[in-house]
Amino acid sequence: MTQQNSSQPDNRPKNYIGSTLLFAGIFSTATIAGLLILLTTPLPFVIRYSISKAWCTVVLWMSKVFCGLRYEVEGMERIDPQHPAIVLSNHQSAWETLALRHILPMQSVLLKRSLLMFPIWGWALGVVKSIAIDRNNQRAALRILLEKGETYLKQGLWIVIFPEGTRTAAGEIRKFSAGGAMLAQKTGFPVIPLAHNAGDFWPRYSFFKYPGVIKVKIGPIIDTKGRKASDINTEVEAWIAQTIKEMN
């Protein structure tokens, strides 16, 4: 499902200095945070999770200072930290992978296993209860998601999933995989759709970041008990697609 063609050339002024400072800041602080997370592995989970969240907060601050990039969130009243849910979000950039850890309650994120291979920060991802899957083995990936997802939900963690599976161009939506909806069908935990336009300011695969305000919209809580995964997935995909269309 595609909302618009994003192949137009980007004629915005390039923010060389700000983007360079942000890149250096992310690289250096990620190394420090990763080491701290690994060193605190024997301690309670909440400690290393708090370090990871603090790092994401620092990155958002650097994005504002170096690149003039801010964000606003609509619908936070729908988030109750005491009642875990499965958040399904569109995926346009690296920004949301960091920002949602800052915005949402304590969580586990579905990610590709290859990310765990990167020294220090990749290893750190492996000890903050991420759900790592091999996308080339869909059957095994679904089994891991359902097993670990249910375990973490019962532990009080939220589950954050990007059902498109990869970053898309700003304004576009790929067909959603059904893994998140199947987890909801199995567990009965509610689903919360989330839409954003981060790709307009932090484009995928781009070194440059642009000033502006990223909009994040948290959708209505979807009761999943007794519902089919296909119906849940369709409802979420339609809401996100419509919300992104309204943002453009």
Q: Is 197 part of a structural domain of the chain?
A: yes
Number of domains in the chain: 1
Task: Summarize pLDDT for 176-201 with one digit per residue, the tens.
Answer: 999 999 999 999 999 999 999 999 99
Residue 183 burial (10 A CB sphere; 0-12, 13-18, 19+): buried
Q: Span 104-128, mean pLDDT? A: 96
Output the CA angle 181-215-52, nearest 5 degrees. Answer: 70
In this prediction, residue 81 carries a pLDDT of: 96
Going by C-alpha positions, the residue among 74, 73, 123 that lies closest to residue 99 is 73
Task: Bin 17: left if φ > 0, else alpha if -120 < ψ < 50, else beta.
Answer: alpha
| Per-residue buried b or exposed e for 60-93, using 16+ beta carbons within 10 Å of the residue's own CB | bebbeebbebebebebeeebeeeebbbbbbbbbb
Q: Is 5 part of a structural domain of the chain?
A: no
pLDDT band at residue 171 using 50, 70 and 90 as cut-offs: confident
Res 110 pLDDT > 60: yes
- Which CATH number is 105's domain given? 3.40.1130.10
Query: Measured between alpha carbons, how far is 75 from 217 in angstroms, rounded to an integer?
Result: 6
Q: Is 137 part of a structural domain of the chain?
A: yes
Query: Measured between alpha carbons, how far is 99 from 55 in angstroms, rounded to an integer?
Result: 10
Q: Span 51-66, mean pLDDT? A: 98
Res 79 pLDDT > 50: yes
pTM over 0.95: no
Sign of torsion over alpha carbons 17, 20, 22, 28 = negative
pLDDT band at residue 4 using 50, 70 and 90 as cut-offs: very low
Query: Measured between alpha carbons, how far is 204 from 206 in angstroms, rounded to an integer?
Result: 5
Q: Is 19 part of a structural domain of the chain?
A: no
Q: Span 32-48, mean pLDDT? A: 98
Q: Is 36 part of a structural domain of the chain?
A: no
State the residue range of the domain holding 178. 70-247
Q: Is 192 part of a structural domain of the chain?
A: yes
pLDDT band at residue 8 using 50, 70 and 90 as cut-offs: low
Q: Is 33 part of a structural domain of the chain?
A: no
Cα first-last separation, the chain: 16
Q: Is 37 part of a structural domain of the chain?
A: no
> Radius of gyration (Cα) for the chain, nearest Å?
18
Instruction: Give all strands (DSSP E) within the chain, no chain letters.
Output: 69-74, 86-89, 107-112, 131-133, 158-161, 191-196, 212-218
Query: Measured between alpha carbons, how far is 109 from 82 in angstroms, rounded to an integer?
Result: 18
